[in-house]
Chain A
Amino acid sequence: MAVTNLPVDNGVNVEALLGVRDALADTPEIAQFQWRATCSWVKGTHSKSSVDTFYGFGGEQHHKTTFTYDADHPLAFAAEDNGVTPVEYVLVALGSCLTAGVAAVAQQREIQLRSVQATIEAEMDLHGILGADPEIRNGFNGITVKYKIDADATSDEIRALVAQSQKRSAVYDAITNPTNITVEVA
């Protein structure tokens, strides 16, 4: 009896990604990207950000629509909770980046994913941002990401997907390593 294996499909176009990587050898400049967002204050701690265009592959690009995001502080902070806090956006970014990476690596390694769920938790001591203790940092004390993954693979193979995703994650790098931030005022 013949057994047909369906091709692995996690929805990631690996050929396209590898195609870009191959093109870099001849035209490395196409790898230079600039990501952008604009942010406008609304009221109190509420602001609205939008993302529309970016630069890459040698030219200006834009998303298929303008995406907008509200950010605010919660009611417990005597604010109006019109959106999640900026630090929660960071956790969304990390989870999204790592999860996309898991899918891409799984596709490349021909591992069929059935479900992937990440829970991201980050501790923070408010003494930092409140200026109440100079020894406490503003940011997170630590971030824990817990993955539950159901896939056609051994437990070591799944852990290797998650490890490889971190190795190649932009947001993971942005958070674990220093980045220069220059803020100018017109």
Chain B
Amino acid sequence: MPKVTTVVIGAGHCGLAMSRCLADRSIDHVILERGETANSWRTQRWDSLRLLTPNWLTRLPGYSYRGVEPDGYMTAPQVVQLIDEYAGVTGAPVRTRTTVTSVRPADGGYLVGTDQDSWEVRAVVLASGACNTAAVPALHESVPAGITMLTPMSYRTPGQLPEGGVLVVGASASGIQIADEVHRSGRAVTLAVGEHVRMPRSYRGLDILWWMDASGVLDERYDEVPDIVRARNLPSMQLVGSANRVTIDLNALSGMGVRLVGRLAGVRDGHAQFSGSLPNLCALADLKLGRLLDTLDGWADGTGFDGGGPPERFASTEVPSSPPLALDLRNGEIRTIIWATGFRPDLSWLDVPVFNRKGHLIHDGGVTAWPGLYVLGMPFLRRRKSSLIDGAAADAFDLTAHLAAYLACPAGRGLSACS
């Protein structure tokens, strides 16, 4: 049975960043990847998808975007290419087409079962991602037959949808991008809006992510925010990457004819029921954006930054005066429902008792309760930027330091035998 000090599960940007950090400390390891590197970028992204972060903000340990459009936004194939190059340049020890089937505690560490070899290891790093499965609410089972249903993982292009009306459920990054594209294809879109994070693409003439990076907002630490549970559950920013830097917010969507309704609250007798809370959810998002812009302006004032234009504020989200509270799903008006309702990790193969009663992984900044077991790539894992490609480097660096200390002294620090 092969033995290695550390197994990294997943050859996406997190797994490869971790591998580079482990290599820097000469910690022997392999990366087990069920497909090819950057697997989910190859197989689970829609055709027109671009990163919502500008290219210069893709920085991995010892590597960064090298293309000709630093202020552009990479397509999924371009992300694959960058991650592939990174794996090559770092000489990452990736075992492709190797699916992990189980991880369980064993003497001295863990036993990692795969569809090929089993590995005896001292430490495991979970880098299989936070978005393995679409999180579709149970009420989808009540949707009448005959309606095509997709998630952002199965959606590719408007052409795959039947003609006719489309209900997009969820107005975060995937929802607004898909709603925009599908509506432009001539299919009338109704967008069910729940909690969302409103963002302009540009602020004072500069990319909003530039501001969030420069001001330190992206570097905010998990142990410094007042409510980490809330922060980790924030939906994705309403942003899209595009050549003309458009802002696709609810005002833009309703301006082009997308019909806004409240959060999908139920499906009963073939009718979709929408919450009456739309005005407040829009008010909450507008207020939150205002607070962010106040923070950014405050940083600019405090540091004497004088680039970009003067401070600006954006028009409040216009809420229809009486949005429909119900939609008949049986009369043919809606032919497709796209569930842009978020994603979940799939850690069903992890046979270690590190889950809480709701089935979520328990960890402290990526360090789980079981010694030598780490996780990367979760929202706000250690910093606000943890869910961005750019966030992997700092998290991988921190967790490698912890892992190295664990390997040096597995029973715990402070024992005289280890000092």
Contacts and interface: CB of A to CB of B under 8 A. Distances in A.
B266 A163 contact: no
A159 B287 CA distance: 8
A86 to B, nearest CB: 19
Interface in A130-186: 141-143, 156, 159-160, 163-164, 166-167, 172, 175-178
Nearest to A143: B276
A167 B275 CA distance: 12
A163 B265 CA distance: 19
A167 B230 CA distance: 13
Contact of A178 (B268, B280, B357): B268
Contacts, number: 37
A28 interface: yes
B331 interface: no
Interface string A17-59: 0000000000010000000000000000000000000000000
A167 B195 CA distance: 10
Given A28-B357, A166-B280, A176-B262, A156 B290 contact: yes
B284 A175 contact: no
Contacts of A166: 277, 280
B322 interface: yes
Nearest to B278: A176
A172 B287 contact: no
Q: Which residue, of A164, A166, A172, A177, has the highest number of chain B Cβ atoms within 10 A?
A: A177
A127 B294 CA distance: 49
Interface string B246-266: 000000000000000010011
A178 B273 contact: yes
B295 to A, nearest CB: 13
Contact of B265 (A156, A160, A177): A177
A176 B287 contact: no
Given A175-B276, A177-B265, A178-B265, A163 B322 contact: no
A28 B273 CA distance: 30
B409 interface: no
Q: Which residue, of A159, A166, A176, has the highest number of chain B Cβ atoms within 10 A?
A: A176
B275 A176 contact: yes
B235 to A, nearest CB: 14
A172 B277 contact: yes
A142 B322 contact: yes
B408 interface: no
Nearest to B290: A156
B283 interface: yes
Contacts of B273: 177-178
B283 A163 contact: yes
A175 B322 CA distance: 15
B314 to A, nearest CB: 14
A96 to B, nearest CB: 17
A159 B283 contact: yes
A156 B277 contact: no
B198 to A, nearest CB: 13
Interface in B280-299: 280, 283-284, 287, 290-291
Interface of B: 262, 265-266, 268, 273, 275-277, 280, 283-284, 287, 290-291, 322, 357
Interface of A: 28, 141-143, 156, 159-160, 163-164, 166-167, 172, 175-178
9 contacts: A28-B357, A156-B287, A156-B290, A156-B291, A159-B283, A159-B287, A163-B284, A176-B276, A177-B266
